Structure 1
Amino acid sequence: MTTTMQVLKTETPNIKDRIDQFEGSIFLNVGKQIQRISLKSIEYIKGYGDYMKVKCKEKSHTVHITMKNLQKVLPSSDFYRVHKSYIIRLDKIDHLSSSHVQINDTHIPISRNNKQELLSLIPWVK
């Protein structure tokens, strides 16, 4: 008599489901630690090659990840890439001009190609 062993396959939840599971947080490699960062605390992200500076309300974190990979895990309803080196959290915008976004005292450039789409994402009255 032979016995058949069944292997149950469980689908791994995608990153968006896991973010919901951890109440809107992501875990990133910060130095030699894995740091939990609340998405609501992120103001903007600035890219330096394969390193990102994640600027939060209280402090900044330097993370070894590409902009492309980080952009994949951020909810597109809350974050927008305004420039090749910057991703911003939309609800943190204080001012918007023809060439930059201001978040607190930081002026962040907007690429010409992304300005119209950015304007369509924010609630403004013409």
Structure 2
Amino acid sequence: MQLLKTQTPNFNDKIDQFDGSIFLNVGRQIQRISLKSIEYVKGYGDYMKVRCKEGSHTVHITMKNLQKILPSADFYRVHKSYIIRIDKIQKVSSSHVEVNEAQIPISRNNKQELLSLIPWVK
């Protein structure tokens, strides 16, 4: 007897299937959140505050696991407690990044790599 292997779609295929959205545990519900609406994520231990243009959601997930889920082409971890959406950056200074008027700290180690990801003229 030969078993047929079914291919399970990878996570990025699932995101594409749902028009660039992910589902996260928000309170006692599983809520659909568009990746394009996410501005930044702030970590509080095993909880994350996902800031979107329509408001914020508190999600029970670790920063490490959320970072694995979010597409690295669109999101960057600028600090141990923050992940930002790269195309939402408004300003970069020596110690922080501004995303929709929020001052987000940036670690010295991550600043150079972040600068390499954005189009800027020296």
TM-score (norm 1): 0.94
Please give the alpha-carbon distance, in whole angstroms, between the structure 1 residues aligned to 2:50 and 2:4.
39
What residue number does 1:93 align with?
89
Please give the alpha-carbon distance, in whole angstroms, between the structure 1 residues aligned to 2:49 and 2:3.
42
Q: Which amino acid aligns with 2:35?
A: L
Please give the alpha-carbon distance, in whole angstroms, between the structure 2 residues aligned to 1:49 and 1:16.
26
Please give the alpha-carbon distance, in whole angstroms, between the structure 1 residues aligned to 2:99 and 2:75.
13
Please give the alpha-carbon distance, in whole angstroms, between the structure 2 residues aligned to 1:112 and 1:35.
34
Distance apart, 1:86 and its partner CA: 0.1
**Residue 107 (structure 1) aligned with residue 74 (structure 2):** no
Q: Which amino acid aligns with 2:62?
A: T
Question: Structure 1, residues 36-76: CA drift from partner, whole Å, max 9, x if none?
Answer: 00000000000000000000001100000000000001111
SS at match of 1:63: strand
**Residue 34 (structure 1) aligned with residue 30 (structure 2):** yes
Distance apart, 1:21 and its partner CA: 1.1
Out of 49, 64, 71, the position equivalent to 2:45 is: 49
Please give the alpha-carbon distance, in whole angstroms, between the structure 2 residues aligned to 1:104 and 1:13.
34
Identity across aligned pairs (percent)? Answer: 82
- Superposition RMSD in Å: 0.9
Out of 71, 74, 80, the position equivalent to 2:76 is: 80
SS at match of 2:72: coil
Unaligned runs of 5+ in 1: none
Distance apart, 1:11 and its partner CA: 1.7
* Dislocated runs of 4+, deviation >6 Å: none
Unaligned runs of 5+ in 2: none
SS at match of 1:94: strand
Question: Structure 1, residues 11-39: CA drift from partner, whole Å, max 9, x if none?
Answer: 21111111111110000000111100000
Equivalent residues, number = 122
Bigger Rg, which one: 1
Please give the alpha-carbon distance, in whole angstroms, between the structure 1 residues aligned to 2:30 and 2:4.
30
